[in-house]
Structure 1
Amino acid sequence: MMNDLFAIPVERLQGVGSSKAGELHALGISSVGDLIDYYPFRYEDYRIRPFHEVKDGEKITVQGTIASAPVLQRYGRKSRLTVRVTVEGLLLSAVWFNRAFLQEQLAIGREITLTGKWEQRRRQLTVAESEFPDKGTAKTGTLQPVYSVGGGITQAWIRKTIDRALTQYGAMIPELLPAELVSRHDLMPRREAVMRIHRPENSQEGQEARRRMVYEELFLFQMKLQAYRAANRKQPDGLAHRVNNEEIRAFVGGLPFELTDSQKQVINEILADMKRPYVMNRLLQGDVGAGKTVVAAVSLYATVRDGNQGALMVPTEILAEQHARSLAKLFEPHGIQVGLLTGSLTERKRRDIIASLQMGLLDIIVGTHALIQEDVFFRRLGLVVTDEQHRFGVNQRSILRRKGMNPDVLTMTATPIPRTLAITVFGDLDVSTLRERPKGRKPIKTYWVKHEMMDRVLGFIRREADAGRQAFFICPLIEESEKLDVQNAIDLHAQLRQALPDLKIGLLHGRMTPAEKEAAMGTFAAGETHVLVSTTVIEVGVDVPNATLMIVMDAERFGLSQLHQLRGRVGRGEHQSYCVLIADPKSENGQERMKAMTDTDDGFEIARRDLELRGPGDFFGTKQSGMPEFRLANLVNDFAVLEQARDDAAELTAKEDFWTSPGYARLRDYLLREARPQGEPLD
């Protein structure tokens, strides 16, 4: 029956001609089912309240009697219409702007309903909407839904059209949830909830309707993920790695540092996955500097020891070069060959790398998106690792996977989110989390200063340089912008050279050639440059243990997680490190971000606050990660419902009779129709 509603064109409704249908299509509404599922995002409250409850500046609806003749004042094409109205024995002024046509209707003694903003001091109501009860009223005393509209679609028209759809087709709205879940969570029946979310009698009713529909939305999303996962686990489809535990222990024992307990646990989880004959889809998340790279190295070592090749894809050339160097150093004693493939290689070098990869002469390849070019082939690809997964599109990751016969996949991110949220959102991935910092790492001290304190910041740089340390200085833009009043890297580089003439000041930005970037980063990493002025090209992964000072100019321009990533570029050596945020104190969101940064250096807490400030769409990068967009649910506010929905979906899909019982037929039909999960992040 649900199919029936989505099979009925919206043009079947009275008042929806070809022009309006086109406007609705632009909103994603092509069927009656789409229209009924087009929920309001808030309600306008036209209920009349006792006047003594009204606070200054509030929007209110009142009912009263006109007590004076209207006064009309004109200012060119603009006008102001004022009349006295008695409300509950109080005489107030009602003011309309640019509504001169109402003058003749405002007769003394006539009843009137007014909605507008109340100004206590003036005893004045600035009227947004007015109605006369003797004409009949559609809004007074109600909660009116407010929808996202555009083009020629008005609120009044879409309210009327949805109302017609509910009146004509409401009886066809099906129940999708199993009866036991409706009963367990005390949910409204679906038909009633859909009706009430569009036509609430009161706030409580609207909230209950929304609770039901939010649960359903999250439950159905989780059912798609769980069903897809269950279907894929019925038949072995991957490479069962033969992992030699003794070799792994010997490799780990030969590392120049001791693994944390968290790293050991995560490695065990990954290796257990690799041993199974199913494709591994695991998300490895951890705070900045938590040691994800060495976990990836152990995993790559395991696949190579089983006779396979490994691939590590990263978002930038600088990071690819750094990973290639560090992995080569780790693997050299074990005879494992590591190659680097980036867009800046000469054609001859590129051909040699590709040939070596295809013949199996290279065991591990590290690269940027150059790895997914059509002419890149592997002899036997066993493990794909992607670093900073949110920076790669869904298609880019899937192309790399298809270069092997269902290789295992390890996805890494240094943008941590609460583990339970990660499990719930990426429902078809297993999630491993690194919480510990490697031993000996000191917390980074973070300060927020105003632009006027630049002299003190320069003094701080000089003190660190005199002690043999180095500093990053980050800017939002490469060169001057007329739109944004921000310091740029090129100008700042010149200013610092003038202010600190005895120090060597380097420059790094995205428009430099790969050779120029390599030279700038190389001299800084070698300690030949005291200060590196850079854009956020160094945000991810660049490792300079001697750098102890991170300064971010116009820090309010950056997101919280990005600031935390930048801060993570220091604090990698034995010396105390610092992060100085130079920000405008008048920026409201900026203040919240600066406070969060100075309050904590826990990436998971930073991520939680970032999620609250930005919302899930921006946080996860909806376009890149395949993050689902929900009609009603909010992943911050509705998180408890999300977890419950996931547990319910996992329980239901694990039951044998779910796949066979007629009682679940409608839900199974829904899953078949939806086919693949919207938020499936790796394919």
Structure 2
Amino acid sequence: MSVQEPSAFSLYRADMLNIYDIPVQQVQGVGPQKAEELQSLGIHSVGDLFDYYPYRYEDYRIRDLAQVKNGERITVQGRVCSEALIQRFGKKARISCKVMVEELVIKAVWFNQLYIKDRLKPGTDVVLTGKWDQHRLQITVSVYEFSSGAHSPRTGTLQPVYTLSGSISQKWLRKIMGQALKQYSSHIAEILPDQIIRKRSLMARAQGIQLIHVPEDHKEGQAARTRIAYEELFLFQLKLQAFRQLNRARADGVAHKIEAETIRQFAETLPFTLTESQKKVVNEIVKDLRAPYSMNRLVQGDVGSGKTVVAAIALYAVVKSGHQGAFMAPTEILAEQHARTLKRWFEPLGIEVALLSGGMAERKRRDLLASLQSGLTDIVVGTHALIQEDVYFRSLSLVVTDEQHRFGVNQRAVLRRKGMMPDVLSMTATPIPRTLAITAFGDLDVSTIRERPKGRKPIQTFWVKDDMLDRVLEFIEKELAQGRQAYVITPLIEESDKLDVQNAVELYELLSAHFDQYKVGLLHGRLPSDEKDATMRKFSEREIELLVSTTVIEVGVDVPNATLMIVYNADRFGLSQLHQLRGRVGRGAHQSYCILIASPRTEQGVERMTVMTETEDGFEIARRDLELRGPGDFFGTKQSGLPEFKVADLTHDFELLEWARDDTAELVAKSEFWTGVAYASLRDFLYREQIFNGEIID
């Protein structure tokens, strides 16, 4: 397929985006002052106003009182049937009267609104909204309207509720939104192709915008929300899928010549047998490496699932094809571990593996850089040291990044530019729910290793309350006495007035005194890098038996002799983080344990502890974590790459997201999409989003 990059699609832009060129002050009723206040909400144009969606609705539909539960918010319509009564309580006052609702007399109460007394005459028709007290047959009124026997304009409807600022009120914004729709709804251009609207049974864009702001009922509001949410996801996925299609169309990657027999022979040299899941992922990677376009694949797998050996097979394949590979790890200690592992597997086969670290002697570093540039070194392992300006390769064709979300976009991009559009294989031990994988890594093909290597014993996980610390200390003593090692994790480094949590420094001092016959170490993020590395090496080499640490060991060194993970104040951690911590043990032949110490005060805290004791499946834990915490916090901190949607919710709209992914992938694969007039506005959208400049989307 020949992809034509757009030169000038601006003639379609006015048709698609004209409402975004109309100043909001053109809406009748919006003066200069209100226009300025609307700008503080990000509303500059009529299009911005239409895109300012309500976050919920207030239900003003008339309900049967017999079906309303005590304490619920209700709307009733009735007739005043008594004189208003005023009662004073110091500076406060309330006014009340009897109202006939159908055949039931109820009491209506207003607080501090004495000015309505003269309007509460017997025989007056009213519409009241407020909290219902079933026992007293009383409604505490929050919203009211007087009518002349007919339904109020609000009665029987859902009213949108918007985020506000300044002097803008809900009533005014609703009025202006209605006026804007009246003036300009006919100018709302359709964005989605007709065939997709029909395929997914979606309403038109103009109708969706109309009904999301002014729905007759919840069903209409939900259908409108579905339309808008799908559109957001569609446009985001269109960017990702178009980039992938362009990347394939450019065909500027390395098409490696890889024989299946070569891969099989290498696998036979390994000291273990690949799982079926690993074999499947290897086949997916090899297929990509053989293709003429650059691979961009994410391998996700639970802790201990064997991602490193899959990456090693990919590196072996490119080296046998006559090229070089680079392996970037997030920490020096992890880079050293990967380098040792790869040397053990590759050097007997004559493949040269080197470690490039920040602390190398200058002469040794110069020799390594020369070896890389000449092609004598086949594979280099390192941290961000790999992206320094003076690092050159003869033929870099594969970049592997471990825990890829921990590297910045620019860091990964720099390493890619050190080769001629090299293939990229990213790995993460953070199992990612399908929804987030499609979204955060939508420009990547995602491979998943589900199985664990044979022989791995399940980690026994226990949740204990704070008052059981003595028993926990006894258990630690038992493991250390058998020659094992243990981690003790705490959330904070130093004492905090805000959080009642054990801190690493104080805990280190307490445990050092309690276990005075053992060597206790301390590790936290504020230590200098060389001191952190030295502490981890001592722990790896059994010079330290009990390591007190913050979460800096979450992704860290493989210590097979460590069999016990203790987590203080475990309810302060997210589920996925707890699972990562638990994965630091269970990597050897001995039975391993994880003990969570927590006395949670919230239902969510209790649920997290319960989930951790019920399952070891990282993907199930990730799904539950996404439900509890939401996508923005899934990785522990707010990550770039996760888009902010106005309507779509990644936690619940996974079906819409998969629709959007499938629909856009099918669309961009057609030559008609890149040339046909019907899709010009979408191509213009891609042009303005800079998809055609060849940069990777991260």
Provide TM-score, normalisation by structure 2: 0.90
Letter in 2 for 1:154: S
Aligned position for 1:383: 398
Within the candidate set 656, 663, 670, 1:648 is matched to: 663
Q: Is the 8 A contact 1:48 1:62 kept in 2?
A: yes
Letter in 2 for 1:55: K
- 1:417-496 equivalences under 5 Å are 417-419=432-434, 422-423=437-438, 426-496=441-511
Aligned position for 2:242: 227
Q: Is the 8 A contact 1:424 1:646 kept in 2?
A: no
Residues 207/16 of structure 1: CA separation in 2 closer, same or farther (3 Å cut): same
**Alignment root-mean-square deviation, CA:** 2.8
CA–CA distance in 2 between the matches of 1:111 and 1:366?
79
Deviation by residue 1:11-30 (Cα, 9 ceiling, x = unmatched): 33234455544443443333
The farther-off stretch of 587-596 and 362-371 is: 362-371
Does residue 51 in structure 1 map to residue 51 in structure 2?
no
CA–CA distance in 2 between the matches of 1:114 and 1:347?
81
Q: Is the 8 A contact 1:339 1:362 kept in 2?
A: yes
SS of 2:639's equivalent? helix
Within the candidate set 51, 56, 76, 1:42 is matched to: 56
CA–CA distance in 1 between the matches of 2:256 and 2:108?
78
Aligned position for 1:565: 580
Aligned position for 1:27: 41
Does residue 117 in structure 1 map to residue 151 in structure 2?
no
Aligned position for 2:252: 237
Within the candidate set 554, 569, 592, 1:577 is matched to: 592
Deviation by residue 1:63-86 (Cα, 9 ceiling, x = unmatched): 23343423242444x544444444
Deviation by residue 1:258-306 (Cα, 9 ceiling, x = unmatched): 2212112212211221122101100111111111111112222223333
SS of 1:186's equivalent? coil
Aligned position for 1:3: 17
Within the candidate set 672, 684, 687, 1:657 is matched to: 672
Q: Is the 8 A contact 1:72 1:103 kept in 2?
A: no
Deviation by residue 1:321-353 (Cα, 9 ceiling, x = unmatched): 322332333333234444444555577766665
- 1:11-410 equivalences under 5 Å are 11-66=25-80, 67-76=82-91, 78-134=92-148, 137-343=152-358, 354=369, 357-410=372-425
Shift of the alpha carbon at 1:49?
0.7
Aligned position for 2:5: none
Aligned position for 1:544: 559
Residues 518/394 of structure 1: CA separation in 2 closer, same or farther (3 Å cut): closer
SS of 2:191's equivalent? coil
Deviation by residue 1:582-624 (Cα, 9 ceiling, x = unmatched): 1123222111111111111101111111111122232267953
Letter in 2 for 1:583: A
Q: Is the 8 A contact 1:625 1:681 kept in 2?
A: no
Q: Is the 8 A contact 1:392 1:625 kept in 2?
A: no
CA–CA distance in 1 between the matches of 2:376 and 2:108?
84
SS of 1:168's equivalent? helix
Shift of the alpha carbon at 1:221?
2.8
Letter in 2 for 1:515: D
CA–CA distance in 1 between the matches of 2:345 and 2:430?
25
Residues 309/17 of structure 1: CA separation in 2 closer, same or farther (3 Å cut): farther
Residues 482/38 of structure 1: CA separation in 2 closer, same or farther (3 Å cut): same
SS of 2:616's equivalent? coil
Q: Is the 8 A contact 2:574 2:636 kept in 1?
A: no
**Runs of 4+ more than 6 Å apart:** 346-349
Aligned position for 1:610: 625
Residues 545/174 of structure 1: CA separation in 2 closer, same or farther (3 Å cut): same
Provide TM-score, normalisation by structure 1: 0.92
The farther-off stretch of 464-473 and 663-672 is: 663-672
Within the candidate set 532, 551, 554, 1:517 is matched to: 532
Deviation by residue 1:383-420 (Cα, 9 ceiling, x = unmatched): 11111122223233222212222111111111113457
Question: What is the aligned residue count?
Answer: 681
CA–CA distance in 2 between the matches of 1:457 and 1:571?
18
Residues 132/152 of structure 1: CA separation in 2 closer, same or farther (3 Å cut): same
Letter in 1 for 2:21: A
CA–CA distance in 1 between the matches of 2:93 and 2:99?
19
Shift of the alpha carbon at 1:250?
3.4
Shift of the alpha carbon at 1:380?
2.8
Shift of the alpha carbon at 1:214?
2.5
Residues 194/254 of structure 1: CA separation in 2 closer, same or farther (3 Å cut): same
Residues 625/310 of structure 1: CA separation in 2 closer, same or farther (3 Å cut): farther
Q: Is the 8 A contact 1:390 1:625 kept in 2?
A: no
CA–CA distance in 2 between the matches of 1:315 and 1:323?
11
Q: Is the 8 A contact 2:399 2:424 kept in 1?
A: yes
Aligned position for 2:604: 589
CA–CA distance in 2 between the matches of 1:80 and 1:490?
57
Residues 206/517 of structure 1: CA separation in 2 closer, same or farther (3 Å cut): same
Letter in 2 for 1:617: G
CA–CA distance in 2 between the matches of 1:317 and 1:243?
32
The farther-off stretch of 261-270 and 219-228 is: 219-228
Shift of the alpha carbon at 1:208?
1.9
Residues 223/677 of structure 1: CA separation in 2 closer, same or farther (3 Å cut): farther
Q: Is the 8 A contact 1:419 1:433 kept in 2?
A: no
Q: Is the 8 A contact 1:397 1:682 kept in 2?
A: no
Letter in 1 for 2:53: Y
Which runs of 5 or more structure 1 residues have no equivalent in the other structure?
none
Q: Is the 8 A contact 2:443 2:697 kept in 1?
A: no
CA–CA distance in 1 between the matches of 2:499 and 2:534?
30
SS of 1:132's equivalent? strand
The farther-off stretch of 366-375 and 523-532 is: 366-375
Q: Is the 8 A contact 2:396 2:420 kept in 1?
A: yes
The farther-off stretch of 648-657 and 387-396 is: 648-657
SS of 1:433's equivalent? strand
Does residue 416 in structure 1 map to residue 422 in structure 2?
no
Letter in 2 for 1:638: D
Q: Is the 8 A contact 1:225 1:677 kept in 2?
A: no
Instruction: State, as a whole percentage, how many aligned pairs show the same letter.
Output: 63
Shift of the alpha carbon at 1:638?
1.8
CA–CA distance in 2 between the matches of 1:362 and 1:18?
68
Q: Is the 8 A contact 2:86 2:93 kept in 1?
A: no
Letter in 2 for 1:13: V
CA–CA distance in 2 between the matches of 1:509 and 1:395?
27
CA–CA distance in 2 between the matches of 1:180 and 1:315?
45
Deviation by residue 1:307-329 (Cα, 9 ceiling, x = unmatched): 43322222233322322332333
CA–CA distance in 2 between the matches of 1:365 and 1:105?
84
Q: Is the 8 A contact 2:84 2:95 kept in 1?
A: no
CA–CA distance in 2 between the matches of 1:334 and 1:22?
70
Residues 657/666 of structure 1: CA separation in 2 closer, same or farther (3 Å cut): same
